[in-house]
Amino acid sequence: MTVMEQRGAYRPTPPPAWQPRTDPAPLLPDAEPYRVLGTEAAAQADPGLLRTLHARLVRGRRYNAQATALTKQGRLAVYPSSTGQEACEVAAALALQERDWLFPSYRDTLAVVARGVDPVQALTLLRGDWHTGYDPREHRVAPLSTPLATQLPHAVGLAHAARLKGDDVVALAMVGDGGTSEGDFHEALNFAAVWQAPVVFLVQNNGFAISVPLAKQTAAPSLAHKAVGYGMPGRLVDGNDALAVHEVLTDAVRRAREGGGPTLVEAVTYRVDAHTNADDATRYRGADEVAAWRRHDPVDLVEQELTRRGLLDEDALRAVRDEAEAMAADLRARMNEDAPLDPMDLFAHVYAEPTPQLREQRDQLRAELAAEAGEDTGADTEGTRR
């Protein structure tokens, strides 16, 4: 018998006292994404919640369209649209209490706005004008995270610290399917489960990490199944069903607040627009695929339920759309104004105490700007302005 055969035949027997730490069965997600809209359960949904979801979805759809148009006008450097994913964005914001924290990714601008951040401030980072663009503490929204999944360990750290301090706070961290391939995703889930931190992870599985389909990222039955390996429950939900996403996230937030630990939620949705305005999505997916997902549009699903229950007529629909148009007009007008910029802000938020090198660079730039200002107001030897 070869050494490899001997090794293959070796089956260590655990000591009698060994037993699994956690029964994996309750942690497993459902075989199919959880749905509410279009089922009998939808009839029990609160009318007020349905109307709120609908208004936020319509507003979010218009926000995405207006922000995309602003990139074409040169008012935004880049915009990662969440068109088609509005149900996840809106539900994430509505599932949280005021004292909770939201940790968004770069595509979650709509969730940031739904949380209460000014629409222009939410776009400032993507405009290239300033740092975050908003005060994270005002609405308890962490900065938009462009590096993939780096916000997840931050969410765990905040949630763990809040629990140690006795604060009744939950963190909800959003990430795309591509972010689950990052080491930060693993580290965050592992720490969250070991510490039983009050944090909820929402994975928006929109089918692609830029052009890479999910099948080339993982062989797992679903991304929600990854939760079992960390010792936390996984939930699989239809990400275009705003009512279902809201219910699942609300339940996960409640569980975390009550000391039940973290939850991994996978929302199966679709990115209808390109990855960003710099992407050509036709190179890696077909028009038929996009059309099929448009027939499962999150805005239409809620409107159909409201109409079926007699909760939405033409006047109410017009009022919701008019409000969204007013928001878009205000956003358009304010984004067309050039914001006053101070170059010294480049050095203001790098270190708590500026390093000698940073102070040197700051002083050098200040001197150069002062020199340029002096040249602009003076005349050269030929009497012409420079």
- What amino acid positions are annotated as catalytic residues? 271, 275, 284
226 three-class SS: helix
How far is C-alpha 164 from the geometric centre of its chain's CA atoms? 26
Residue 69 vs residues 85, 152, 328: alpha-carbon distances, Å: 18, 30, 11
Distance, CA of 279 to CA of 219 (rounded, Å) = 26
Distance, CA of 263 to CA of 257 (rounded, Å) = 11
Q: What are phi and psi of 171, to 5 degrees?
A: -110, 135
Distance, CA of 333 to CA of 258 (rounded, Å) = 44
How many degrees, rounded to 5, is the angle at CA 344 between CA 343 and CA 347?
Answer: 120
Q: Which residues, including other chains, have CB under 8 Å from residue 315's CB and lie 6 or more apart? A: none
Distance, CA of 366 to CA of 344 (rounded, Å) = 8
